[in-house]
Each structure stands twice: as C-alpha cells, then as structure tokens.
Amino acid sequence: MHQTTYHRAQSVEEAANLAQGASDPRYLSGGMTLLPTMKQRLVAPSDLIDLRHVDAMQGVSEEGDMIVIGGATCHNDIATSEILQSKVPGLAYQASHIGDPMVRHMGTIGGSIANNDPAACYPSAMIAMNAVIRTNKREVSAEDFFTGLFDTVLEEGEIVTGVAFQAPEKSGYGKFPNPASRYAMAGVFVAKTADGVRVAVTGAGDDGVFRATGLEDALAGDFSAASLDGKSVDSSNLMGDIHASPEYRAALIVAMAKRAVVLANGGDPDTKAATPAGTAAA
C-alpha cells in the first residue's frame, strides 16, 4: 500500500513550504479530480497538502472595481454569491451548472483552473472576462495562463490563490453538457464590456479553451442572439470523439453562444424559445 501524508495548511506560505519539503507533493482542493486519479494509481503523492482551510483563499469579495474569488472557493459559493449573482450573473449561472451537488460543494475554482481540463467551464469565463489568475508568485492574464490540454503556466509548487476581474456590463454562459459526466461538450461564455465583446469556448477545442473571434465580431455590432443566425465556426481545430464530431461541436458552439447572449440580456437560456432547433435544453 502506498503511504501518503496528509497536511492541513492554514496559510498559503505554510502550504508552499510544505510542498517544498516533500518529495512528490500534490495540493488538495476539492479532490474531485485528484482523488479519482489517485484511486486509479495514476498519481501516488508522497504528501497531500489541503488548501481548503486557508482563509485567505476563501470567498468572493470586491477590491475597488475588481471582483476577487479565492482559489479555495467552491462552485456552490460562486453560484450563490450575491455579488456574482447581481454583477456577473453569467459566472454564477456557470458555477450552478457544474457537475452535481457534491461536485459543486467540494470542487473549487483554483483546482479547476490549475487542472485545466479541456471540458472544464471556468477557463471560458476567465478568458472571456480577461481575468487575472493570482498565484503565490505572480499574476498572469488568463490568456497566457491556459497553455493546452491539462496544461498551464503553473510551475512546480505554485498555488492558484485566486482570480480577479472587472465585472462586465453583461455576461452569460451556454453549456451543452455531456449527459453522463455533466462536463461541457461545448460551453460558451460571452462577456460584453465598454471595450467590446469577448467570446470564449470550452469543451470543444482540440487544444483547450479558445476565443471565437468570428462570433465576437458578429456580437460587437448587435448584441443579440439573432445576430448569430447563419454564423458558423470552423471545425478543423475542434475535438471529435464518441460523443460528438468536430462538425457537431461547431454547431453546438453557435447554439450555446446564442443561449449565453439570451442569459446576458436578462432572458432564460433554458426556455424553449432560447433553445435553437436540435439542441434540447440541458
């Protein structure tokens, strides 16, 4: 049997020091990805350093005109945050549609971002909102942070302590979930600011999250779902698997972008009226 030592860190500094002194450490947040990976013997850490009890990494707050979310904040706290529900409803909606209740109460934004699963929801919000990812060593823009499938710029022992962004004027998310896992088969986050519209896509790109600039151009002039009628997305760099072909994912991206815009404009993206033909509401 493999021996693992569990540590409950009380501060970011303590966590980083524990990691530095261990032979093969892993940070533990919700454990929603890490623990199944350990059960499958894909990783066997010498030390598990639990970040969930670090107060400085908890909760949603405002710093001047920035909204800050601690890295150890669980999805349910993001979904139910009054700050986010009123100022960034797209992000609250996104968090409320992650996985199931257990995943939402255990999984964290820091763990999700560090893991950068190609079908994870938050990377799309971070890129669309031009967020900054805060670590114990630096601040990195989301566009530089996510570097490919399950890959980020995080270095050995670096901790995602939180994320920070300005609330967009409008925000929305549309997601077509895999019916078994609930991860996104295509998830589209739309953010409208004074500088324009940014659209980021998760679950579909064969190199992870990406911006859909064609959809951004269409929405810049007319921020309505109708402005996406007839628009398409190039399928050549999209994933194909047993669940959906690249071409099907391309169609889903446009459909989910429409739902995201409906939500951003104050509508209900899960109603039939907001659901384009062939993409039943999730």
Ligand X SMILES: Cc1cc2nc3c(=O)[nH]c(=O)nc-3n(C[C@H](O)[C@H](O)[C@H](O)COP(=O)(O)OP(=O)(O)OC[C@H]3O[C@@H](n4cnc5c(N)ncnc54)[C@H](O)[C@@H]3O)c2cc1C
User: Residues in the site for ligand X, rule: CB under 6 A?
Assistant: 26-34, 51, 71, 75, 98-99, 103, 106-108, 110-112, 114-115, 120-122, 159-160, 181-183
Measured from the CB atom, the residue of 118 and 219 that comes closer to ligand X is 118
188-to-4, 161, 177, 178, 259 alpha-carbon distances in Å: 39, 25, 11, 14, 9
Q: How far apart are CA 187 and CA 209, in angstroms?
A: 10
Measured from the CB atom, the residue of 71 and 168 that comes closer to ligand X is 71
| Helices 246-264 and 89-96, packing angle to 10 deg | 130
Give the nearest distance from C-beta 24 to ligand X in angstroms. Answer: 11
- Joined together, the tokens standing for residue 168 give 């967009």
Give the nearest distance from C-beta 223 to ligand X in angstroms. Answer: 25
Measured from the CB atom, the residue of 15 and 218 that comes closer to ligand X is 15
Give the nearest distance from C-beta 259 to ligand X in angstroms. Answer: 15
Measured from the CB atom, the residue of 29 and 275 that comes closer to ligand X is 29
Measured from the CB atom, the residue of 115 and 166 that comes closer to ligand X is 115
Measured from the CB atom, the residue of 182 and 231 that comes closer to ligand X is 182
Look-up of token digits 């820091």: 110
273-to-175, 258, 277 alpha-carbon distances in Å: 16, 11, 10
Q: How far apart are CA 179 and CA 141, in angstroms?
A: 32
Give the nearest distance from C-beta 229 to ligand X in angstroms. Answer: 28
Give the nearest distance from C-beta 260 to ligand X in angstroms. Answer: 15
Q: How far apart are CA 269 and CA 252, in angstroms?
A: 14
Give the nearest distance from C-beta 33 to ligand X in angstroms. Answer: 4
| Helices 213-221 and 246-264, packing angle to 10 deg | 30
